[in-house]
Amino acid sequence: MSDPSREQEAFLIIVSSPSGGGKTTIVERLLKRHPDWVRSISATTRLPRTGEKHGVDYLFFSPEAFQELEKKGALLESAKVFDQLYGTPKGFVLERLKEGKNVILAIDVQGAQIVRGKTGKDIPFVSIFILPPSLKVLRERLENRKTDKPEEIERRLQIAQEEIKAAGDYDFTVINQTLEETVLEMESCIEKFRKERRKKENAIRSN
């Protein structure tokens, strides 16, 4: 049984960054520091990378199975990114929020825009965009992870420049200089949102 007071406190944390911007590592560190938070596991049609596991890193589906999820309305959002489909299982997010747990959603710019448009008053959320220190650093990070061919890296960098333009649509932007500094700054942003939300709710109750 969910705790009504905790349920009212729970909210969605939307985190975006360009490919190679570090959002996956940052989210993992946040979850270690906040074991009561949970990460929404995205559904995708892309193949698993080395070491990735179904149900842990992503939910891997065939294009046909993914499209069936869309038809059933089982996804909070879905978008095509780098020729592959990605989506957020709606049931998981709603169930965790109902349990009073904050849900972190690491998602691309397209998906974040859809989620922000759909949730509104129904699901409280805070959105954070992680910026790389520079495109040069972003290129180095993409090259160092050794998962993409040179032409794919160039393509990701081109898309990154477009995605960065959307940073102003988010509640907060954080420059990923170092992992520890970025995690602390994100915690500060999330806490600021929580306090402002509580303040607004108390003001509504007192009127």
Cα separation, 63 vs 60, whole angstroms: 10
| Domains by residue range for the chain, with CATH | 4-206 (3.40.50.300)
Strand order in the sheet with 84-89: 59-60, 43-44, 84-89, 75-81
Cα separation, 14 vs 170, whole angstroms: 9
**pTM flag (> 0.95):** no
Strands, E, within 51-190: which ranges?
59-60, 75-81, 84-89, 103-106, 125-131, 172-175
Cα separation, 42 vs 40, whole angstroms: 6
Average of pLDDT values for 69-73?
94
Which pLDDT score, from 0 to 100, does residue 1 have? 46
Cα separation, 147 vs 142, whole angstroms: 8
Cα separation, 169 vs 160, whole angstroms: 15
User: Is the confidence at residue 120, as pLDDT, over 90?
Assistant: no
Q: Would you call 167 helix, strand, or coil by DSSP? A: helix
pLDDT tens-place string over residues 86-116: 999 999 999 999 999 999 999 989 889 988 8
| Count of beta carbons in the 10 Å neighbourhood of residue 35 | 7
The secondary structure element, H or E, covering residue 38 is: strand 38-39
Residue 2 binned pLDDT confidence (cut-offs 50, 70, 90)? very low
State the number of CA atoms in the 13 A half-sphere of 191 facing the CB.
8
